[in-house]
């Protein structure tokens, strides 16, 4: 395993092993929560388990940050001349990165803007688009002729990506865990609702193997005509029949923070007329 190098002490190896265990363990927990039951209290618990998967993956990735920074720190210059050389090389790499952004991103955005304006000013937009494409091709040729390595910025770029991933995963996990804990502690809510319909969110491509199909059911409340959405996984699709059997007018029991469905109960006395709701 590349990370468990021979020059690593047991402390470094333990950090790598913990990171790998948290990363893959968190992913396994995330997959369990994704394809587990989504109804009732068990659905809230599984929602919280999925949140823990996000947190574990974020912490696991963060464990690799000191491992990535270890070699740059150990190979840092020890003399003033070495620091001057390092600053010069880092400035050159930073300049190339900035130029890449200007030429690739800037010219690409200008070309897209010209494409958008093509119908209103075809001649000017066409010329602008051709110039932008010429800049992209010419700069790509220049970069191929004058290759640049990013030995100094590459580790820090990898670390920034890792920290961003860990931060985002941690924030998502914390928010979802807080919602699951609050719903489990306070219990479900009840609302007189009318069924509006549902939307099937079916993942496609490679993501289909890692994401379950979600059925997002849309209800309108009897007071205020506010929308209430609950999410049901594909494996729990059978509960839709319960709503249909209740006639579409139901007392909906659900967990409001996690949007976890519990059950529908028939509400025959509830009707809507001219966008006004009331109980008979």
Structural domain boundaries in the chain: 10-75+157-183, 80-150, 188-273
Maximum distance among all Cα pairs of the chain, rounded to whole angstroms = 87
- Interatomic CA distance for residues 220 and 212, integer angstroms: 26
Distances (CA, A) of 184 to 5, 32, 40, 181, 187: 45, 19, 10, 5, 5
Terminus-to-terminus CA distance in the chain, angstroms? 70
Q: What pLDDT was estimated at residue 278?
A: 39
How far does Cα 209 stand from its chain's mean position?
Answer: 16
Which run of H or of E encompasses 10? helix 10-34
User: What CATH number does the domain located at 188-273 have?
Assistant: 2.40.50
At residue 273, what are phi and psi to the nearest 5 degrees? -140, 125
Which residues, 6+ apart, have CB-to-CB distance to 76 below 8 Å?
86
- b or e along 96-121 (b: 16 or more beta carbons within 10 Å of the residue's beta carbon)? beeeeeebeeebeebbeebeeeeeee
Question: Quick one: pLDDT at residue 89?
Answer: 83
pLDDT at 279: 38
Angstrom distance (rounded) from CA 194 to CA 206: 36
Q: How much is the pLDDT for 273?
A: 39
Are the C-beta atoms of residues 201 and 93 closer than 8 Å to each other? no
Check residue 244 and give its pLDDT: 77
Q: What is the pLDDT along the chain (280 residues), one digit of tens a residue?
A: 455 667 778 888 888 899 999 999 999 998 888 888 888 898 999 999 999 999 999 999 999 999 888 888 888 888 888 888 888 888 888 888 888 888 888 888 888 888 887 777 788 888 888 888 888 888 888 888 888 777 778 888 889 899 999 999 999 999 999 999 999 999 999 888 888 888 887 777 666 667 778 888 888 886 667 888 898 888 888 887 777 777 778 888 899 999 899 988 876 554 443 333 333 3
pLDDT at position 280: 35
The answer to whether the beta carbons of residues 258 and 43 sit under 8 Å apart is yes
């Amino acid at each position: 395993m590349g990370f468990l190098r021979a020059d690593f002490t047991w402390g470094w190896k333990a950090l790598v092993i913990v990171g790998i265990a948290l990363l893959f363990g968190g992913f396994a927990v995330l997959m369990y929560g994704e394809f587990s039951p989504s109804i009732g209290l068990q659905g809230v618990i599984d929602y919280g388990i999925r949140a823990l998967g996000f947190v574990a993956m974020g912490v696991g990735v963060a464990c690799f940050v000191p491992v990535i920074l270890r070699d740059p720190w150990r190979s840092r210059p020890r003399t003033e001349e070495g620091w001057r050389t390092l600053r010069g090389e880092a400035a050159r790499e930073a300049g190339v990165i900035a130029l890449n952004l200007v030429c690739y991103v800037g010219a690409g955005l200008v070309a897209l803007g010209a494409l958008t304006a093509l119908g209103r000013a075809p001649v000017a937009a066409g010329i602008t688009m051709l110039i932008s494409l010429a800049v992209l091709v010419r700069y790509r040729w220049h970069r191929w002729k004058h290759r640049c390595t990013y030995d100094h910025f590459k580790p820090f770029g990898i670390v920034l990506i890792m920290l961003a991933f860990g931060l985002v995963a941690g924030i998502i996990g914390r928010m979802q865990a807080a919602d699951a804990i609050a719903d489990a502690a306070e219990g479900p809510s009840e609302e007189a609702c009318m069924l509006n319909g549902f939307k099937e969110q079916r993942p496609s491509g490679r993501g289909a193997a890692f994401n379950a199909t979600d059925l997002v059911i849309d209800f309108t409340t009897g007071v205020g005509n506010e929308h209430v959405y609950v999410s049901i996984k594909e494996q729990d699709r059978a509960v839709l029949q319960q709503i249909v059997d209740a006639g579409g007018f139901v007392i909906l029991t659900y967990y409001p923070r996690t949007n976890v469905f519990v059950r529908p109960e028939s509400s025959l006395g509830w009707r809507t007329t001219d966008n006004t709701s009331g109980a008979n």
